[in-house]
Structure 1
């Protein structure tokens, strides 16, 4: 039987408000926290992602745009990209710039962004954090930073295949990864990046990386 419900369509449905769960490689399900991403940034978002960004910022996998929308409100040059057309639509409704774009495709301003954000576990996109970080190394400017949300210390590095379950209907599998604080420095090094700071606030964690060479 051919699977017709692709993962991108599942994300579109989820962001449109349909009841959605993330199903991991062993069948465990947890709610897809759409409300968290469609609401305004909370104080943890501000401390970890918004306040550190005082120059041009690109949000990778921006979702409905809570971060890039707030950066735009603060007058920070910013742009979000996402593979979900619904996410891009909602980001634009917030008055922010967003493009329907894959991070591995062409990105406007490539090599000139001062900050690149990987919030909400988006370091896991594609299941290959080294490839993703190496890509962002080319997206940011010399001296630019990548701020990535990671799992707690001890989570290690796990690759898995996930699906979305939208109102009882399963999507096709897609590759994802989980990276803990204990694993991020090693993966960053493989992408010619160096972790220069880590932060833990409100039960969430980030690692800030820069290029190891120009």
Structure 2
């Protein structure tokens, strides 16, 4: 009997490709990120409409406090990449989604397709790594992702993380994306983490929590 390697799958890929389809349609759409074990009892809303739009006030506040070069991990169609470039920051976006990268490339944005765990240009030279829009969940292992980010940064570099709005949230699971028409992605590993467990994990990994803040219903922190 064949088995599916969940670890080999990435956010929203496979199956009906609801993430890619939502990006292509470029309309006001949301997707549900569902914990496969918990089903409807545990699900989060993913606002693709916001990802397709321009940077909002929360995004611009974040970018106004960082230094380049910036690496936007899980950049999607390039909202943060565009905004960073317009602020004069040197920036590169990376994403595993061919559709997201195609959209960003067509818009003339500096992006590349691949995983943050692949070899990347400029390793060790980035001043800021962005993990926004829930991308701290990439790979389902927050510790491994933060450790990888450390290797991409300068000695004085920082990671800016968008956290789960529930300060106590600490969940690693196998999920899938579902759209309003019932289209489902393949299963993929994911994680969600709030401020309190992030504070503890950061200390364990040797990071310093420099700042945390909330704006427009979103929660962020800066790690050095």
TM-score normalised to structure 1 length: 0.88
- Quote how far apart the aligned CAs of 1:203 are: 1.4
Given that residues 153 and 182 in structure 1 are in contact (C-alpha distance below 8 angstroms), is that contact kept between their aligned partners in structure 2?
A: no
Q: 2:21 aligned with 1:8, yes or no?
A: no
Per-residue CA deviations over 1:140-167 (Å, capped at 9, x if unaligned) read 1110000000023533311121101243
Given that residues 126 and 176 in structure 1 are in contact (C-alpha distance below 8 angstroms), is that contact kept between their aligned partners in structure 2?
A: yes
Match of residue 36 from structure 1:
50
Q: 2:68 aligned with 1:68, yes or no?
A: no
Q: 2:12 aligned with 1:21, yes or no?
A: no
Match of residue 99 from structure 1:
112
In the alignment, the residues of structure 2 paired with residue 151 and residue 68 of structure 1 have an alpha-carbon distance, to the nearest angstrom, of 22
Instruction: Give SS of 1:116's match.
Output: strand
How many residues align? The count is 207
In the alignment, the residues of structure 1 paired with residue 45 and residue 198 of structure 2 have an alpha-carbon distance, to the nearest angstrom, of 25
- Quote how far apart the aligned CAs of 1:169 are: 2.6
TM-score normalised to structure 2 length: 0.85
1:1-214 paired onto structure 2 within 5 Å: 7-9=12-14, 10=17, 11-17=19-25, 20-25=31-36, 26-28=38-40, 29=43, 31-48=45-62, 50-152=63-165, 154-166=167-179, 167-210=181-224
Instruction: Give SS of 1:190's match.
Output: helix
Instruction: Give SS of 1:182's match.
Output: helix
Q: Which runs of 5+ in 1 are unaligned?
A: none
In the alignment, the residues of structure 1 paired with residue 154 and residue 210 of structure 2 have an alpha-carbon distance, to the nearest angstrom, of 16
In the alignment, the residues of structure 1 paired with residue 182 and residue 209 of structure 2 have an alpha-carbon distance, to the nearest angstrom, of 40
Q: Which runs of 5+ in 2 are unaligned?
A: none
Given that residues 74 and 96 in structure 2 are in contact (C-alpha distance below 8 angstroms), is that contact kept between their aligned partners in structure 1?
A: yes
**CA pair 46-158 structure 1, distance change in 2 beyond 3 A:** same
**CA pair 179-94 structure 1, distance change in 2 beyond 3 A:** same
RMSD of Structure 2 on Structure 1 (CA): 2.0
